[in-house]
Structure 1
């Protein structure tokens, strides 16, 4: 069971999009990545809005788009996905350095 599957299982949630685990299949905009990273840090929509100098409603919209694109139903799933992708990126970078 992958880390994301374990988080989803622990939260008793089910992903609707099987492609959500594949980094290559998902294309978030630069702003959506920023929002996803802020969600992973535990920020509320209001805090995200303040951090990015946007309205709360715009921040909420970005969070909703990220949830939809990833096929998730909770912010915790976004956080787990961001952490998982960061670990994958570090692993790929480490592998590339060793070659």
Structure 2
């Protein structure tokens, strides 16, 4: 009987490398506790765009909350 090998989760650094350049700009601000409105103002983009990027960041880093982004990114 064959047993499938468990799928390995990428390391935090590998997951962070999958972020787009814009997501890489947003993630540190998110980790510092900025709101979507503050991020939008800082980067001159709409809050809706920030919301979209934040959702993608959370998925790619496999975290369920904004607060966990900092721990996933480590000391960058």
Q: TM-score range, shorter-chain basis? A: 0.7 to 0.9
| Structure 2 gap ranges (5+) | 1-7
1:24 to 14, 25, 34: 14
Q: CA deviation at 1:80?
A: 1.4
Aligned length in residues: 68
| Structure 1 gap ranges (5+) | 1-16, 87-99
Structure 1 residues 27 and 85: CA distance shift in structure 2, 3 A: farther
1:57 to 44, 48, 51: 48
**In 1, Cα distance between the equivalents of 2:28 and 2:43?**
12
Superposition pairs for residues 2-21 of structure 1, below 5 Å?
18-19=9-10, 21=11
**In 2, Cα distance between the equivalents of 1:22 and 1:59?**
22
The answer to whether structure 1 residue 66 and structure 2 residue 27 are counterparts is no
**In 1, Cα distance between the equivalents of 2:12 and 2:53?**
20
**In 1, Cα distance between the equivalents of 2:28 and 2:39?**
10
* Contact 1:23–1:85 under 8 Å retained in 2: no
The answer to whether structure 1 residue 76 and structure 2 residue 67 are counterparts is yes
Give 4+ residue runs of structure 1 displaced > 2 Å after superposition: none
